[in-house]
């Protein structure tokens, strides 16, 4: 099924909402960044702790110079919706995110491997369909 997700082409990055559904069936919306240079999807430890999928975030994680995130663990999300596509049991990295970055998820190449993705900057559309 073809889906269109709207983004603001005037922004520096492609930002859009994603939804994580917890084990009790409650969906939570987070701001995500589409990152074609990231090998895998990452969620902030803060967001995962907030929805109850992570018991606690590591307090001593340091960001390496020049990075806005630092991966340190993996977790399986029971249900996530990215660009209106429901995905079950998606393994993602748990990361510490730079707070000033203002996002809670980074959508990486693992998403691109499952979907045909077209970015139309002229109208601000992210067009996706399963492969």
Q: Residue 8 has what pLDDT?
A: 96
CATH number at residue 121: 2.40.70.10
Average pLDDT of the residues in 43-60: 87
Q: Residue 65 has what pLDDT?
A: 62
Average pLDDT of the residues in 69-86: 90
Q: Residue 81 has what pLDDT?
A: 96
**Residue pLDDT, tens place only, 85-100:** 999 999 999 998 877 7
The count of domains in the chain is 1
Q: Is the pLDDT of residue 63 over 70?
A: no
Domain of residue 87: give its range: 3-130
pTM of the model: 0.88
**Confidence bin at 64 (pLDDT 50/70/90):** low
**Confidence bin at 4 (pLDDT 50/70/90):** very high
Q: Long-range CB contacts (< 8 A, 24+ apart) of 4-12?
A: 4/125, 4/126, 4/127, 4/128, 5/83, 5/84, 5/125, 5/126, 5/127, 5/128, 6/124, 6/125, 6/126, 7/34, 7/124, 7/125, 7/126, 8/124, 9/121, 9/122, 9/123, 9/124
Q: Residue 67 has what pLDDT?
A: 59
Q: Is the pLDDT of residue 19 over 90?
A: yes
């Amino acid at each position: 099924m073809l889906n269109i997700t709207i983004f603001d082409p005037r922004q520096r990055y492609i930002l859009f909402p994603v939804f994580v559904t917890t084990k009790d069936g409650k969906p939570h919306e987070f701001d995500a960044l589409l990152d074609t240079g990231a090998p895998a999807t990452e969620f902030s430890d803060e967001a995962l702790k907030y929805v109850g999928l992570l018991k606690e975030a590591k307090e001593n994680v340091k960001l390496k110079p020049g990075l806005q995130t630092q991966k340190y663990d993996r977790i399986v999300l029971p249900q996530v919706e990215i660009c209106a596509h429901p995905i079950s049991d998606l393994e993602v990295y748990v990361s510490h995110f730079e707070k000033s970055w203002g996002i809670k998820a980074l959508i990486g190449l693992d998403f691109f491997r499952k979907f045909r993705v077209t970015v139309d900057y002229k109208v601000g559309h992210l067009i996706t369909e399963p492969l």
